[in-house]
Structure 1
Amino acid sequence: MTFNRREWLGAAGAGGAGALLASLGMQAHAQASLESLNIITGFAAGGTSDAICRRVGTQLAPGYAKIAVVENRTGAGGQIAINYVKGRPGDGMTMLQTPTSMLSIYPHIYKKLAYNPVTDLAPVTVGCKFDFGFAVGPAVPPQVTNVREFLLWAKANPLGANFGSPAPGSTPHFIGALLGQHGGVDLKHAGYRGTQPALLDMLGGNISAVSGPVGDMLQHVPSGKIRILGVSGAQRSRFAPQVPTLVEQGYADMAHSEWFAFFLPAKASPELVQRLNGHMRTALASADVVDSLSTFGLEAMSSTPAELAALVKSEVAKWGPIVQRVGFTAEG
């Protein structure tokens, strides 16, 4: 996959803007702009998902569409937005942006899901990638400096054997649950509406740990109020290079990252998908988007529609056994 920021920036520098645009398809860019583009996110204004949509939207107008508007259709953990886009016309004027866990994990935790992640959406491109951190707060002694030490401490202190995550059934929820299984300790899970409420509870000493996006934790690290014990990526996060990965710490099956990705309704034509992909890849390679997303701990990147389709399918297959192992369902 073309998930490499350096390669993108290198291509722009080596061949110039003209060469980069040519590689994306000048014919697609030359077509008349649509009247408008509605970018749909299932999460509230001011959050990470909303911020990504707005930054990308500024790059898509007036080239792809004369105006780009972000709509926050919140609720049901992102499902409302997906269902809305699923039912829209395939005219290229409605685009979904969603974390991939709504497509890869939800089919395994909901007995009745109103959308099929493979057949109801037309993949356009990946937008960015991010890793999760497992952090502890003031309720955990400062002598605890890595994940193994936390699990041993939690086992010896059952009242503190807990962690919070942005939502039940989310990737960070499963990361915490799997770590508990690795350590032979029952880590009680507390689901929140986002990472920041969980972090605030941890900072207040109400919970011991939080599993959530690394970018959401960074603002609290310099003060020493929280300590990130491990990150979930296959390699160390460039936003927290001093923190070892979970794999480095001996948890070989714990490499889990998340993507924000963009989709059209499934009824959109392949030609329209390719046209939007060309504009999206140019937008995601722009310095403004790359730099602004990095402030959230997000690595801007892109893909072809086929690469995103393959990613969704592989993630759906990957998470089935993990969900079964943890034993969590969203419906009791």
Structure 2
Amino acid sequence: MTLNRREWLGAAGAGGAGALLASLGMAAHAQAALESLNIITGFAAGGTSDAICRRVATHLAPAYAKMAVVENRTGAGGQIAINYVKGRPGDGATLLQTPTSMLSIYPHIYKKLSYNPVTDLAPVSLGCIFDFGFAVGPAVPAQVTNVREFLAWAKANPQGANFGSPAPGSTPHFIGALLGQHGGVDLKHAGYRGTQPALLDMMGGNISAVSGPVGDMLQHVSSGKLRILGVSGQRRSRFAPQVPTLVEQGYADMAHSEWFAFFLPAKTPPELVQRLNGHLRSALASKDVVDSLATFGLEAMSSTPAELAALVKSEVEKWGPIVQRVGFTAEG
């Protein structure tokens, strides 16, 4: 499956199709609310994963559950949260929100992964989509204005041939590694615990470049402390429309976006999955959620459970050859 941003956004109602989504969730809203809902994220409070959980939670209570609580079960790059949710009862009271990397990339980089992304979780709905940026800081000369020029500079200056990412094995890690392969240069990777520490190190001149979410970079662009050389989406990011995509710059196979999505334990009855899907789609169509997520560089987006299931399957298949090409394993 290839993500078509316009089609997804039309379905999500991010442009204002609230009436359609209200009708989709009408039957669900008529049922009695659960006592409580725990929304589980594998990442710390204050980050983008936590942000979408908290925005959506305000719309799930009291209609779906009388109380909706966000729980941050951090550690192991999001695996702890997934393992926790897969073992919970299928009563609709425990909801996982996770980025794609834990489902599409981890099966290929861990020899022994304690969950199966296809069989251990019940897809409910997409939550949002976002693109990555490849940025440089003061260690790179100002005359370097695009990715091709950076790769040429890195090849000529091997001491500066490096980049940081939010984590080893993440999508931005692979984007940087693939760019290095395109340029015929060995870009040394530095993995951080999040994008902001990597950006601070880059802006301090300790590393040359960072591959990470566009939304995390925007606050630093106006200050002139970093320059975004390219974005990873199929189309230019509406949050940085002046920056050309990697595809535009000649890297035809470098269109990589990431999404956050919601899942229940695999044993959850289909009627509960559909009921929660209706509530989530209504929440993700609401103006306050759409506008709030945009401040983080996130585009609100929803789907049917079947569409999300197909997306997970296609993403798992897509990343296998990419991981093999880069040659990275989590144990290596």
Output one character per residue of 1:215-257: Cα deviation in whole Å (capped at 9) or x when no partner. 0000000111100000000000000000000000000000000
TM-score w.r.t. the length of structure 2 is: 0.96
The percentage of aligned residue pairs carrying the same residue is 92
Residues 62 and 139 of structure 1, relative CA distance in 2, 3 Å threshold:
same
Q: 1:114 and 1:154, CA in 2 relative to 1: closer, same or farther beyond 3 A?
A: same
Superposed CA offset, 1:75-110 (max 9, x none)? 000000000000000000000000011000000000
- 8 Å CA contact 1:3–1:302 kept in 2: the answer is no
Distance 1:14-1:81 versus aligned 2 partners, 3 A rule: closer
**1:320–1:9 Cα change, 3 Å:** closer
Partners of 2:184 and 2:323 lie apart in 1 by: 18
Structure 1 CA distance, aligned partners of 2:83 and 2:13? 40
Aligned residues: 332
CA contact (8 A) 2:163 2:188 kept: yes
Q: 1:63 to 1:6 in 2, by over 3 A?
A: farther
Change (3 A) 1:203 1:291: same
**Distance in 2, Cα, partners of 1:186 & 1:15:** 43
Is 35-44 or 18-27 further displaced after alignment? 18-27
Question: CA shift at 1:28, angstroms?
Answer: 1.2
1:197-229 CA distance string (max 9 Å, x none): 000000000000000000000000011110000
> Within 1, Cα distance between the matches of 2:82 and 2:39?
11
**Do 1:2 and 1:303's aligned partners in 2 also have CA atoms closer than 8 Å?**
no
CA separation of 1:206 and 1:100: change in aligned 2, threshold 3 A: same
Report the alpha carbon displacement of residue 11 of structure 1 after superposing the two structures with TM: 8.5
In structure 2, how many angstroms separate the alpha carbons of the residues matched to 1:253 and 1:2? Answer: 13
Tell whether the 8 Å contact from 2:9 to 2:15 is kept in structure 1 after alignment. no
CA distance in 2, matches of 1:15, 1:244: 24
Q: For 1:113, what is the secondary structure of its paired residue?
A: coil
Structure 1 pair 328–11 and aligned structure 2 pair: CA distance change class (3 A): closer
Q: Please list every run of 5 or more consecutive structure 2 residues that lacks an aligned counterpart in the other structure.
A: none
Contact 1:230 1:246 (8 Å CA) reproduced: yes
Evaluate the alpha carbon distance shift between residue 111 and residue 154 of structure 1 in structure 2; reply closer, same or farther with a 3 A threshold: same
CA distance in 2 between counterparts of 1:19 and 1:151 reads 48
CA change 1:55–1:191 in 2 (3 A) is same
Q: Deviations over 1:5-24 (max 9, x none)?
A: 87798899999988435531
Rounded to whole Å, the distance in 1 between the matches of 2:329 and 2:2 is 34
Asked if 1 retains the 8 angstrom alpha-carbon contact of 2:123 and 2:305, the reply is: yes
Larger mean CA deviation between 311-320 and 15-24 belongs to 15-24
**Cα shift at 1:25:** 3.8
Residue 26 of structure 1, CA deviation: 1.7
CA distance in 2, matches of 1:110, 1:184: 27
Aligned residue number for residue 158 of structure 1: 158
Instruction: Give the whole-Å Cα distance in 1 for the aligned partners of 2:235 and 2:14.
Output: 27
CA distance in 2 between partners of 1:48 and 1:14 (Å): 18
Alignment CA distance shift 1:26-1:15 (3 Å): farther
Residues of 1 paired with 2:261 and 2:302: CA distance? 9
In 2, the alpha carbon distance for the partners of 1:47 and 1:12 equals 23
Residue segments in structure 1 that go unaligned for 5+ positions in a row:
none
Distance 1:72 1:32 in 2: 27
Query: Using the alignment, how far apart are the partners of 2:8 and 2:320 within structure 1?
Result: 33
- Contact 2:163 2:210 (C-alpha < 8 Å) held by counterparts: yes
- Cα distance, 1:43–1:304 mapped onto 2, change above 3 Å: same
Residues 143 and 285 of structure 1, relative CA distance in 2, 3 Å threshold: same
Q: Determine helix, strand or coil for the equivalent of 2:229.
A: strand
Q: Distance in 2 between matches of 1:276 and 1:149?
A: 48
Contact 1:8/1:285 (8 A) holds in 2: no
RMSD: 2.2
If the length of structure 1 is used for normalisation, what is the TM-score? 0.96
From the superposition, tell whether residues 101 and 13 of structure 1 become closer, same or farther in structure 2 (CA, over 3 Å): closer
Instruction: Label 1:165 to 1:302 Cα distance change in 2 as closer, same or farther (>3 A).
Output: same
In 2: Cα distance, 1:127 partner to 1:15 partner: 15
Instruction: Provide the C-alpha distance between the structure 2 equivalents of 1:264 and 1:35, rounded to a whole number of angstroms.
Output: 17
Preserved contact between residue 8 and residue 303 of structure 2 (Cα < 8 Å): no
Retained in 2: the 8 A contact 1:128–1:301?
A: yes
In structure 2, the residue matched to 1:39 is: 39
